[in-house]
Amino acid sequence: MLLSALIGQALLGLLLAWLSQTVTPTLKSFLQTAVIAAWILPEVVIGFAWFAFLDYDNGTLNMILRGLGLPPGDWLLQQPFWVIVSFNTWRGAAFSMMLFNSAFQSIPPSYFQAADVAGATSWQKLRDIALPLIRGHVVTDLILITMWTFNVFTPFLLTHGGPSYRTEILSIYTYRIAFKDFEFGKGAAVGVVIMLINLAFALVYLRLAHKKPVEAE
């Protein structure tokens, strides 16, 4: 689940950032505002909004499906894994988009102008020019969203870790062990392991951030 959510956040953020470079300023502002809104809204509001969207009886998604003559689905029960992956991807893509957007703007426009003269497509410019130049930003993004995804707790509002613990991410698992099963020692041990994992990612990030000025010289 963690790997799927990380790949989804990074890819969606990258595509949105690249798309915002090719649209008009008005559409770019609308796109960025809509995406960032999903990131800055309180987690409780976002969690209950998704629950209302996916509810079997009165959810917006099932109402749309019924209106189209399609069968509704009990998404939180039948597809809990993909619900959590989609939720984390949708909510976390905003950070990746902002980071990649800044990275793209740091690339000299003459690179893309030369590619336009050569007849390169948008995909070729992204693959051959943009991605090699922002490789460090990609690594930074993956490290930071990994740390964020390790600690996210909002999916608990959707599935409570169920059904049958199928959506029990580390933060929810720690909560269940410590405050539902009252195994405080085990819960504390899991919490320490999560902290050490986050510390390792933080050290890698700080090392990469420290290297950048040296490489620029």
pLDDT tens readout for residues 58-115: 889 999 999 999 999 888 888 888 888 888 888 888 889 999 998 998 899 899 989 9
pLDDT at 185: 92
CA torsion sign for 3, 59, 93, 124 is: positive
* pLDDT value, residue 12: 92
Q: What residue ranges do the domains of the chain occupy?
A: 2-216
Topology of domain 2-216 in CATH is MetI-like fold (1.10.3720)
pLDDT at 82: 86
Calculate ∠ Cα 72-92-89, nearest 5°: 35
Q: What pLDDT was estimated at residue 201?
A: 82
How confident is the model at residue 160, as a pLDDT? Answer: 78
The list of the chain residues with pLDDT below 50 reads 213-217
- pTM comes to 0.80
The confidence score (pLDDT) of residue 1 equals: 63
